[in-house]
Structure 1
Amino acid sequence: MDPSLPFEEYADALERSGQYRVLRRLPDLDYERRSAFPEERVVAIIDTETTGLDSNRDDVIEFAGIAFSYRADGQLLTPLNFISQLQESRSPLREEIVRLTGINDTMIKGKSFDIDAIENFIRSADLIVAHNASFDRPFCEKISKIFANKPWACSATEVDWKTLGYEGTKLAYLVNSSGWFFDAHRALDDCRALAKVLSTKTSTNAPHTPFEHLLASAREVKWRIAFSAPFELRMSLRERGFRWKPGQEGKAGRWTGDFSEVDARDLVNWLTDTLGVKKATVSVDRITAFERYQT
């Protein structure tokens, strides 16, 4: 190939051949460093890195977020600002955590979160988005109670990625399938990658971006069904969208699921009339984005 041609022309030529698919490095964001205009709203796309999976025992060692303005119709607009901080853990990091996060003990030694800065970043957010909100929210609420008073949305579970043409929900897969690659696992890089995926239509004919789908889901009222059931019913329950939630602090575990009002009513009848779940063990609660993904 002609060495005088720019790399992008090489990439275009390879793709036009039909024999290659080219991934481009995720571009840097150009932050405006401003507050949202009166007609705009703010979404905070956040990510955490931790020393484990249990928010009751493990520590947050990295918090990052990018604030974007968006319109009420769901159009994601401008990156306004970002935050990225490290904090030393209470015990040395396990090799597995170093490998997964790219963070080592030297990087976090003596570091601590600036809680005021984190709270100032979150305060203006009309919505918080994480790619695994059920994981990130409990850890974030350990950092500051400001996270408990905000609506949350999960880009991994509240976007119907399969309908949009994707075969998986892991962030690295979504980014690669959208034609990009990035340095995964550091929290700010993951936020930047997620923002790109959420703002990119899956095709030129697609009527909505993934973020528009996510925003519509976040605005929906759901009904959370929680109950106890025998172990042998697990396959039937999983097929209908229920998930097992282990107990914490002396409380017994329960099966849970969030559904529309109509579906919730039908599912309660199915649980009690078909599966024989005791009605006294079943609770149904109204759930909005403010309550979702809490422990």
Structure 2
Amino acid sequence: MGQQFDFFPPDENKPHKASASIIPKADGPNVANEEAMIRHLQATGRYRILTRIEPRPIVLNPRPGFLMRGVIVDVETTGLNHRTDEIIEIGAIAFTFDPSGRIGDVTGIYAGLQQPMKPIPADITRLTGITEEMVAGQLIDTGSLRALVDPADLVIAHKASFDRPFCEAFSPILSRKAWACSASEIDWSARGIEGTKLPYLLAQHGLFHEGHRALDDCFALLEVLATDNPGTQASAFSELYAASQRSLMRVFAEHSPFDMKDHLRARGYRWTDGSDGEPKSWWIDVSEEMLEDELKYLRAEVYCWEEAEPLVRRLTAFERFRS
């Protein structure tokens, strides 16, 4: 006969300790007890169970068939501006995958701290837990990092437009690689998930972790990417890898009339002042299939001239998300 659990007190009118209602009678916790409690709580429909992420083991001899290499990268920094702020921690996980986007094995990890030239702001310490004492005298080992990155076919960051400029300002190691962004290049809403922040994605996948340390966030992202969502035919990573293979077309609305700025912004255009090396103008990234429609819009609504030829630049994964 199986063990019985007192999930509810036998008499609701009798005093009882609140914690006793979910503690099994058996001596000491075990897997069977834990699984039974989880099943019971889920069956009530009143609880959602989150499971702590267990980092995948490093495999010295990865399984055959997963011939491609990926690296997930995350950085902690002293601020948001890659021109004035610095990396204080970098984490990286190397893994194998196949052309269909199936993830294989973790083949290596790296985590390193670095002492910045200026003191770490107090709000960054509160957010990350990284203190001045932790980074004192520390240097990121670029040799170890290069050993993971050099074989990589793809570098992934959860907000690549943030991570890539910081990484390239720090070292050229990652500058010649194809990058993909798991926040912007996966249609999470089509997967039934409205938010894109990593803690939210984890919770929606029934997971949690101790966030805001670089390597922890890398392991968390790996699990999110590897998970199939109900109603979808492919993992999030397979969608991301497919997106990385496509080109985007960056369209610049140079010399557009000033009174069109609100129209351009509403359409999704962004402004660059030219300090990043791009033309000083409004711009937008569109798929190759949508390029002609975008050019027609500019000619008809912005320039009012059918012969206008806006500047267009093709962006592959090697160029995307640069500063």
Shorter-chain TM-score above 0.5: yes
The separation in 1 between residues aligned to 2:274 and 2:96, in whole angstroms, is 38
Shift of 1:275: 2.3
Shift of 1:192: 0.6
The separation in 1 between residues aligned to 2:317 and 2:59, in whole angstroms, is 28
User: Could you say if the C-alpha distance between residues 254 and 139 of structure 1 is closer, same or farther in structure 2, counting changes exceeding 3 Å?
Assistant: same
Query: What letter matches 1:189 in structure 2?
Result: D
The separation in 2 between residues aligned to 1:27 and 1:277, in whole angstroms, is 58
The separation in 1 between residues aligned to 2:36 and 2:265, in whole angstroms, is 49
| Match of residue 162, structure 1, among 189, 195, 205 | 189
Shift of 1:252: 6.6
> Which deviates the most, 172-181 or 39-48?
39-48
| Structure 2 unpaired stretches of 5+ | 1-6, 8-23, 27-31
The yes-or-no answer on 1:89 pairing with 2:113 is no
Match of 2:141 in 1: 114
Match of 1:127 in 2: 154
Deviations along 1:238-269, one digit per CA (max 9) or x if unpaired, are: 44332334542797743222212231221122
Match of 1:150 in 2: 177
Shift of 1:80: 1.1
Query: What letter matches 2:322 in structure 1?
Result: Q
What is the count of residue pairs matched by the alignment? 294
Deviations along 1:15-59, one digit per CA (max 9) or x if unpaired, are: 111111111111221111357857510110110011111111111
TM-score (norm. length: structure 2):
0.84
Asked whether the 8 Å contact 1:51–1:61 carries over to 2, the reply is yes
| Structure 1 unpaired stretches of 5+ | none
Deviations along 1:103-125, one digit per CA (max 9) or x if unpaired, are: 11111010011111111110010
SS of 2:190's equivalent in the other structure is coil
State the identity as a percent: 37
The separation in 2 between residues aligned to 1:247 and 1:237, in whole angstroms, is 17
The separation in 2 between residues aligned to 1:166 and 1:189, in whole angstroms, is 22
Match of 1:218 in 2: 244
The yes-or-no answer on 1:289 pairing with 2:279 is no
TM-score (norm. length: structure 1):
0.92
Match of 2:281 in 1: 254
User: Could you say if the C-alpha distance between residues 69 and 19 of structure 1 is closer, same or farther in structure 2, counting changes exceeding 3 Å?
Assistant: same
What is the aligned-residue RMSD (CA, Å)? 2.2
User: Could you say if the C-alpha distance between residues 245 and 99 of structure 1 is closer, same or farther in structure 2, counting changes exceeding 3 Å?
Assistant: farther
Bigger radius of gyration among the two = 2
The separation in 2 between residues aligned to 1:35 and 1:119, in whole angstroms, is 20
User: Could you say if the C-alpha distance between residues 90 and 37 of structure 1 is closer, same or farther in structure 2, counting changes exceeding 3 Å?
Assistant: farther
